[in-house]
Structure 1
Amino acid sequence: MFSRHYHRRWSDHDHYFGPFTYAHEKRGHYRPLAIVLGSGDDEYPGCDLRLSGFGHTLILALPQVLKPWRRKVTAKFWDAETIERLGRDWYWDTHEREYGFTYSEGHLSVMLGRQTNDSSTEQRWGKFLPWTQWRHVRKSFYGINGEHVATMPDTGKSYTLDSGRWERERAIEKATPTVSFAFDDFDDERLTVTTMIEEWEWKFGTGWFKWLSLFRKPKIRRSLDLQFSGETGERKGSWKGGTTGHSIDMLPGELHGAAFRRYCREHKMTFVGIVDRAP
């Protein structure tokens, strides 16, 4: 028999037809390719089979052909009153079992049993497929007039395996020329910002599939790093807080001044002028 809770919620615009749940997601939302058989759990009893592809998801409620995973746990922190009231000093730790796979944005996840959301006990295997991924190859710095200052190639090593990497990166950043500007925030508070041009490059393919970059253009992102002298933005002073620094994408041909003027126009700020050029 089907559980009386057989409707499976999937999105904010589900449609129910007997034991079926149907949903459609527009581009830009989560649109996996998936075939997953789930056991349900104590909150949503009953099995279900989920099929997803090309933005469509169909979930079929099934009889309890697959039971949830559970284990008996001794309640070490219950007080004596609770134990006496329940007549036991243990509880069931229950989690759904899932079998199948999901694929989304280059990541393949294979479900092999219990899904506990705990990496030490969960039965799941996942991997980013190397023929779908971009690898970071460099970070470059540029001067006041857009001239190249230095490039830090990405060796693929972590900071722990590349001794002195952190110090080298900080030294290059410190040696890169910056430009500072004064501006009035939305509330007329006078602040300054220190700006620096950075650029990142990614090439397609990782591992044995790096050769795929021969057939695709690299991704290059040039940005202007902004470090403000104080908290700025309409949320400053609130519990959410404003911002004291971040970076923005630069448009082709922009330098420090043009990019920050555009930022001011977009964020209710008044550009005042240059106040300093660091050597």
Structure 2
Amino acid sequence: MYHIKKNTVQETLIIPLFGRKVCSEHFPDLFEDPEAERICSMLDYDFTEKGKKMESAVGLFGALEVAQRQYDLAWEVKDYLKEHPGAAVVNLGCGLDDTFRKCDNGVCKGYNIDMPDVIEVRNEILPAGEREINLGYDLNDERWMDEIDPSNGAVFFASGVFYYFKTDAVRELFQKMAKRFPSATIVFDTCNKRGAKMMTKTWLKEAGISDVNAFFSIEDKAEIEAWCSDFASVTARSYMRGYRDIYNEVRILHKMMIRFCDSLVKMQIIKVAFR
């Protein structure tokens, strides 16, 4: 059993993991995640409080979002691998996410990147498998790019990561990546400023972010299109309905929340293809 300390980075890492576990229990026809179940069973942590919150209607929608986001990003990774089977699959800000394993075609290479203290926890709970490596870097430290072998293509993805970055930092990161990894793709989740302000009342608050104005959020993908001439295309899809429409599979309250996320919060999956 691996002990998880309260009020530490370890605790923040297990929240999405637990969300996927809860989602697979409540929506087994939509999401099946035995790995999330397995890892949670390995942890010395009292999930009672988080379980109560996540079992509520609003909390369950949060779990649904976490699971759907992983599904969306995995869909894009698998789609890229159809044309580039030996590509580098790079998880930016990986936490305890196991998307690479869900997408592994037997020949691609997986890179999981996060802060050194996060990777230390990951190495204990989710050690790297075959053709997979865990790398401890701050994403703003471009030395991590030297570790990636893009000779057979590269697909990057980030799940719930860029909300913590200032817009200028995201723009600079993408510009550098476009230069270093031509023909690669990056996929990530976003929301608009209204959504970011809502997040400040929850998990952004825990990160010490109270004023979201400088932090990354977008109203329209055209904002990103203007960032760099090395972008071949920028596309966007609905977070909850763009890859697999689950609207008719959920209760009325969750239908209303999906409509809210689409129309007023602009929760989207953005894909940027580099030239």
Assess same fold via TM > 0.5: no
Instruction: Compare relative contact order (CA 8 Å, sep 6+) and give the higher one, 1 or 2.
Output: 2
Higher strand share: 1
Q: When the two structures are superposed, what TM-score results if normalisation uses the length of structure 2?
A: 0.22
Higher helix share: 2
Q: When the two structures are superposed, what TM-score results if normalisation uses the length of structure 1?
A: 0.22
